[in-house]
Each structure stands twice: as structure tokens, then as C-alpha cells.
A and B are shown apart, each in its own frame.
Chain A
Amino acid sequence: MSLPSYTPVHYRIWHYTYLTICALVFFFLIAPLFVILPLSFNAEQYIHFSKGMIALDPDAFSLRWYEDMIWGTKNPWGLAAKNSIIIAFFATIGSTILGTVAALGLSSRYMPYKAAFMAVLISPMIVPLIISGTAIFFFMAKVGLAATFTGIILAHIILGTPFVVITVTATLTGFDHSVTRAAASLGSNPVNTFMKVMLPLILPGVISGALFAFVTSFDEVVVVMFLAGLENTTIPIQMWVGLREQLSPTILAVATCLIIMSTLILVTAELLRRRSERQRGINR
């Protein structure tokens, strides 16, 4: 944003102040994440920049906390990672299917009480997690699913569907229904039309909804805390337990891995969003 040469001085000053403020806010947003990266390579046991680290002495850095994370005898990270992936995988599949199907109905012209249904289906995203956790715990305890994988997966499906519903409905707002009518007039049955014509077109929205559902499940700690037994521990639960006891460098190593994962997910989501926007741009 360059200013024209005739800009008066006080506007010029204001403009640069504004840019500085923006830079500071961006710094505030992003810098805390990057503080973790170097500290997870600390050779010492303390969470604190040692003199060697500031002087960039190679001996001050090591991979010992990553080794501890993977091979440490007392560390439950392996089990937790396995559980987290299993739970997030099934929860994602469940919420994507349920959410996409519901979004198809909600986007239909003929759907009655659309706003009311939408408000109900989105509610798990709005209601504070502690309340969702309490309610779901009472339910799962009653039906005997507390401390089981099934219980946790069902709970995460509940929490994940609002995201799928929102993203898929948003994709469907630009959807040209004449293509499905064209398919029908050419003799295709509804299921075939959906799989061959509609799904490929709304796929970016479905996948980004699925990514949201995956991240929601992978990151969820409050509800799992109520539901999980010792053998269903997950990565967020282990981090929570660790952080409550003491901040350890191993946790920072885990956190670094999670940051790398979220970067990959972000890039995928962004690429999908752009693709979807491009596609819908052509459709209009």
C-alpha cells in the first residue's frame, strides 16, 4: 500500500502508525506458536532459552525430547496417538456422512422450518463444551458407553457435524441444480446422480468440512476427559495431564509435531477453498 506523493505529512504518519499496529497484532497472533519450536530442541531440561541457544551453539540443541517422546519408557504418547487417530478417523467419517446428507436436505428449497432445524443442528458448536461434556457423559453412562471408544466416537460425531453442515451448506448455496435435473432427464437414478454429478462438484466443501471435523475430534479434550478411561487416553488428554503437572520439554516436542500437522491441514483447507471458489465462479 504505497501512498501517492501528494499525501500530507500527518496522514503519512497516521498511515505508518496503522501499519505498525497491524504488524504488532500479527506478531501477537503468530509469535506465541513459534516460541515452542526452538525450545523443543533444547538440550537442557529447562523450558527457557539457555545462553547456548541464544548464541546458536549447536551443542545447546538436541533431539533428545523427540527421542523421549517416541521411545521414552514411561511415555504414553504412542498409545495416545494411536487412540487419537482411531477416534478422529471414525468420528470424521460419521460426521461427514451425517452432516453432508443433512446439508443436502437443508439446502433444498422445499425444506420447512429451515432456520429452526439449522439452529438445532449447529447447537453443539455453540453450547459450551463443559455443558456438552456433562450432558453426553450422563447419556453415555446411562447406556453403558462411558469409557469406551464407541462412546467417545459418538460424542465426537456430535461435536463435528455442525462444521460439516456449515461448510457443505455454504458450498451448496452456489450449486446449480439444473445439472442434477439434466442427469435425471438422461435417465440417472438419484443415488447415481448424487455420486456421479453432485458429489464431485461439492467435494471441496465436503472435504473441508471433514477436515474441520477431524481437527475438532483430534483436539477435543473436555468431553473426552469425562468419557475416557485409562486405556482410551488421547493426545490432548495427555497434554492436559502433563501441562497440569509441569511443563516438560517433551510436551513441547509433541506440540511442535501438532503445529506441523495443523500447518499441513491449513494448506490443504486453503487449496480446497480456492478450488471450490473457482469452481463456483465458473458455475455462476
Chain B
Amino acid sequence: MSTEQILSSDGIPLETSLKKAERKNKIKAMMLVAPLFLFILITYLMPIGDMLFRSVDDRMITKMLPKTFIALEKWDGKELPDEATYEAFYNDFYPLAMAKESGKLYQRLNYEKSGFSSGLKKTNRKIKTFEKNNYKEQFMATHEIWNEVEYWTALKNTAPNWSYAKYLKGVDLTFDQDRNIVEMPEDRKIYKTLWLRTLKVAFFVTIFCLILSYPIAHLLATLPMKYSNLLMICVLLPFWTSLLVRTSSWMVLLQQQGPINDLIVMLGLTADDNRPELMYNVVGTFVAMTQILLPFMVLPLYSVMKTISPSLMRAGKSLGGTPFVSFRKIYFPLTVPGIGAGSLLVFILAIGYYITPALVGGASGSLISNTIAYHMKSSLDWAFASALGAMLLTGVLVIYWLYNKLVGIDNIKLG
């Protein structure tokens, strides 16, 4: 039996013309997505790539001192380099000093080894008076850094174009003289503590939000519409209110002369002149962030609980389960997707929080974002800020991926 090919009205096989139509629709759909996709790609994703690139890019010194690095290639690193290397450095550094472009060099080399900055600054002033030949002696007479092998080693260590030193610094590790990875000296270890604090705050804020949201999401889901709509406003109003407004209200509440402290004093829990510090520490960060992120937990929980039929609990009861047993065995397992969605969302938001910790956290309550901002705006170590950003981004993307796997990105609900 032969199957006859079905033809469409214009004589083309139906299968082919269907495929053609489908391809046309596919292209149409992609054309609609394209403008936004390209916009995000160019103005957002590529800059993030650029940021990752900056975190490992270490070509600046190599570009500024090309002759020196060629001369240093032959150096064995045991004794001071020879005259030719000093001359090469002179030839690189002299034009920089004349053009007043050596500032970046001090900064970058001082990250490598402290003492470079003052040494180079003095050299910068004196280099005009240098005479031809015998550069080694003249350099050594200018500043003691030129008498020490360690500084030359440090300079040679900056030769590679790519470096992951910033990432090591982000977890309190560093290179020693011989390029071995070692732990930072005890007094300069700050980043591990910071990462742990960020994780701790994000974790506990998530837990607090979950504990506080569960009962009210349940109440909202089970109350009749006309009451629950009214109560929903209590959840949605903070959600729509400016973050800075909510943070400033916590600053009002938590300050030393604020209403909460007034209450504590009025209840006689502490003396008037011994008011506890509720703000500018980690307590302030916890309380304010929990309240601010609470709606992001309530809404996913509510939308899951709304779909659970009340007859399930009644069935549990009719089969002899106490309310607690039916809750534990029936209701709670059904809300797990909501718990997952809300927790991941709150955790993602909390781990990158910036404004609230900066305003109510003080020094002991600041998080990783605050440090990134500090290096972007104050210390101007952009490569290090980028490295910390990349590490934070990796963490967030892992959770985002998990969220996508478990919840599905198109299931995010707003309002």
C-alpha cells in the first residue's frame, strides 16, 4: 500500500509548507525578543563580562615598563639585577615621570609590596637629575628600595598579563616571595569573616522571614476574600514603598532616643542612661532586612497555599488525624514548593543587599556589597572590586540556577 503525499492548495507537500509556516512563526517570535535581548546583551551582559575581565587583567604595568620586563627575563632573582636592567627601568620610568603618568604605577606596585609608593615617589622627583650611565648606583643612592632584591622580585612577579591574585585576596590568601599561595597575615584577614557574615545574615534573614511569613500566608490563604484582600494591603504596601523610606523608618525606630528604646526604658528593663545600641551593628541589619524582605517570602508562600484545597485537611481529620498530624503530613508537604521559592528569592536578595546594611549596619553589620562599593568608590581598586563582584555573582548564579530548576523562572510572581 503506498501512502499518497498530501498536497496543499498550491501543490507543495503539506508537510513542507507546514514546516515553512512554523519556521516563519519561529523567526517572528525571535524577532520580537531580539531588541530587548540585544539591548541586555550589549548594555548589561557584555559589561558584566568586561567586569570579570578586569578582575584578572594585569597588563597595565607590563605596558608601562616594557623594557624593564624584557631585561628582567634574564634575571635569576638571587642578587640585585645588573646595570642593564636599571638602565632599562630608567628608560621606561623617565618618560612616565616627565609626562606625570607614574601615579598609577605607584598605586599598583604598592598593592604588590608596600614601600613601593614612597620609593617610587622619591625616584620620580630625583630622576630629572640623573646623569648618563651608572644608573644602578644612582638609583641605589636615591632610595633604599633599589637596594633590596625583594622589591625587584615583587616587580618581576607582576610580569604575567593575567593574574588571579585578586581572587586569592578575596579569600584571605596571598602569594609569598616564591609565588607560593599562603594565608594572609592574621591582622590582614578580613574577607573570610565578611563572607561568613554575609552568608550568616542572608541565611538567618531567610529563616526569620520563613518563620514570620508562614502563619500570615496561611491566614491570607484561608480567610474569606473580603478580609484577606484588606490584610494583603499590609503586605503589599511595604512591598511598593521605597527601600530608603523603609530603611529610614528603621533608623527612626532603632536610634538610641527612638521609640523602641523608649519602650525598653519605660518597661524598666534598663536604665535611661544605659540604652542599648540597636543600630549600627548586626542586630539592626537583621531586624531591618527581615522586615524589608518579608513580602518576598509571603507572596510565593501565599500563592502556593491558595491552591491547597481545604477539603484535604478535612479529609485528614475525618480519617482520625489530629489537626497537628494532618498539618504535618498533608498541609506542610504541599507548601514545600512555596517555601523553596520564597527562601531562594529572599536568600538571593539578602546576599547582595547594600543600602540597608550601609545605613543601619555600621562597621560590624556591613556585608560584602558594602565592601565592593568601598573598593569601587573609595580605595579605587577596581580590579579587586570586580573580583569580589565576580565571586558574589557566581554564588548568586548558582542559587538562580537552582531556583530555575526547582521553581522555574517563569513562575516568579509579583504582587
Interface residues of A (CB under 8 A from B): 1, 11, 18-19, 21-22, 25-26, 28-30, 32-33, 35-36, 39, 46-49, 98-99, 101-102, 104-106, 108-112, 115, 117-124, 126-132, 134-139, 142, 154-155, 157-158, 161, 163, 165-167, 169-170, 208, 212, 215, 218-219, 221-222, 226, 236, 239-240, 243-244, 247, 251-252, 255, 258-259, 262-263, 265-266, 269-270, 273
A262:B404 contact, CB within 8 angstroms? no
Cβ proximity bits B7-35 to A, threshold 8 Å, 1 near / 0 not? 00000000000000010011011111111
B238:A273 contact, CB within 8 angstroms? no
Question: Is B283's CB within 8 Å of the partner chain A?
Answer: no
6 A-B pairs within 8 Å (CB atoms) are namely A33-B246, A106-B33, A108-B32, A117-B37, A119-B400, A251-B248
Interface of B is mostly: helix
B259:A102 contact, CB within 8 angstroms? no
A270 and B231 alpha carbons, distance in the complex (Å): 13
What 4 A-B pairs are tightest by C-beta distance, nearest first?
A: A128-B352, A105-B32, A108-B29, A139-B47
A215 and B237 alpha carbons, distance in the complex (Å): 13
A239:B389 contact, CB within 8 angstroms? no
Which B residues are in CB contact (< 8 Å) with A35? 249, 252-253, 259
B50:A258 contact, CB within 8 angstroms? no
B44:A134 contact, CB within 8 angstroms? no
CB distance from A121 to the nearest CB of B (A): 6
A158:B242 contact, CB within 8 angstroms? no
A80 and B409 alpha carbons, distance in the complex (Å): 36
Instruction: Knowing A1-B223, A136-B44, say if A163 contacts B414 (CB, 8 Å).
Output: yes
Interface of A is mostly: helix
A129 and B26 alpha carbons, distance in the complex (Å): 34
CB distance from A6 to the nearest CB of B (A): 13
Given contact pairs A36-B249, A226-B376, a sample of 6 additional A-B residue pairs in the complex whose CB atoms are under 8 Å apart: A29-B234, A127-B352, A128-B354, A139-B47, A167-B414, A226-B377
CB distance from B220 to the nearest CB of A (A): 9
Contact of B238 among A18, A30, A121 (CB under 8 A): A30
Question: Is B341's CB within 8 Å of the partner chain A?
Answer: no
B216:A222 contact, CB within 8 angstroms? no
B241:A135 contact, CB within 8 angstroms? no
Which B residues are in CB contact (< 8 Å) with A109? 25
CB distance from A184 to the nearest CB of B (A): 13
A117 and B259 alpha carbons, distance in the complex (Å): 49
CB distance from B55 to the nearest CB of A (A): 10
A112 and B25 alpha carbons, distance in the complex (Å): 11
A111:B30 contact, CB within 8 angstroms? yes
Contact of A130 among B48, B212, B373 (CB under 8 A): B373
Which B residues are in CB contact (< 8 Å) with A252? 248, 252
A134:B241 contact, CB within 8 angstroms? no
Cβ proximity bits B93-111 to A, threshold 8 Å, 1 near / 0 not? 0000000000000000000
B262:A26 contact, CB within 8 angstroms? no
Cβ proximity bits B41-74 to A, threshold 8 Å, 1 near / 0 not? 0011111101100100000000000000000000
Which B residues are in CB contact (< 8 Å) with A165? 36
Interface residues of B (CB under 8 A from A): 22, 25-26, 28-37, 39-40, 43-48, 50-51, 54, 212-213, 215-216, 219, 222-223, 231, 233-238, 240-253, 255, 257-259, 262, 291, 294-295, 323, 348, 351-355, 358-359, 369, 372-373, 376-377, 385-386, 389, 392-393, 396, 400, 404, 408-410, 412-415
A120:B45 contact, CB within 8 angstroms? yes
A157 and B38 alpha carbons, distance in the complex (Å): 13
A87 and B246 alpha carbons, distance in the complex (Å): 22
CB distance from A100 to the nearest CB of B (A): 9
Instruction: Knowing A47-B252, A119-B404, A236-B244, say if A105 contacts B29 (CB, 8 Å).
Output: yes
Instruction: Knowing A127-B396, A239-B244, say if A117 contacts B291 (CB, 8 Å).
Output: no
- How many inter-chain contacts with C-beta < 8 Å in the A-B complex? 269
B29:A243 contact, CB within 8 angstroms? no
Which B residues are in CB contact (< 8 Å) with A131? 48, 51, 352, 372, 389, 392-393, 396
A259:B241 contact, CB within 8 angstroms? yes
Contact of A134 among B25, B219, B385, B408 (CB under 8 A): B385
B240:A269 contact, CB within 8 angstroms? yes
Instruction: Knowing A128-B352, A139-B46, say if A244 contacts B359 (CB, 8 Å).
Output: yes
A34 and B246 alpha carbons, distance in the complex (Å): 10
B237:A110 contact, CB within 8 angstroms? no
Which A residues are in CB contact (< 8 Å) with B248? 36, 239, 243, 247, 251-252, 255
Closest residue of A by beta carbon distance from B404:
A119
A161:B212 contact, CB within 8 angstroms? no
CB distance from B152 to the nearest CB of A (A): 33
Which B residues are in CB contact (< 8 Å) with A270? 233, 236, 415
A108 and B28 alpha carbons, distance in the complex (Å): 9
B47:A11 contact, CB within 8 angstroms? no
Contact of B252 among A39, A122, A124, A170 (CB under 8 A): A39
A36 and B238 alpha carbons, distance in the complex (Å): 13
Instruction: Knowing A130-B354, A247-B251, say if A110 contacts B25 (CB, 8 Å).
Output: yes
B396:A126 contact, CB within 8 angstroms? yes
A25:B46 contact, CB within 8 angstroms? no
A157:B50 contact, CB within 8 angstroms? no
A236:B242 contact, CB within 8 angstroms? yes
Instruction: Knowing A130-B389, A170-B413, say if A22 contacts B215 (CB, 8 Å).
Output: yes
Which A residues are in CB contact (< 8 Å) with B385? 134
Closest residue of A by beta carbon distance from B353:
A128
CB distance from B265 to the nearest CB of A (A): 13
CB distance from B197 to the nearest CB of A (A): 16
B30:A49 contact, CB within 8 angstroms? no
A251 and B243 alpha carbons, distance in the complex (Å): 14
B48:A47 contact, CB within 8 angstroms? no
B48:A135 contact, CB within 8 angstroms? yes
A112 and B320 alpha carbons, distance in the complex (Å): 50
A102 and B51 alpha carbons, distance in the complex (Å): 27
Instruction: Knowing A108-B28, A212-B414, say if A218 contacts B352 (CB, 8 Å).
Output: no
B40:A130 contact, CB within 8 angstroms? no
Which B residues are in CB contact (< 8 Å) with A240? 244, 355, 359
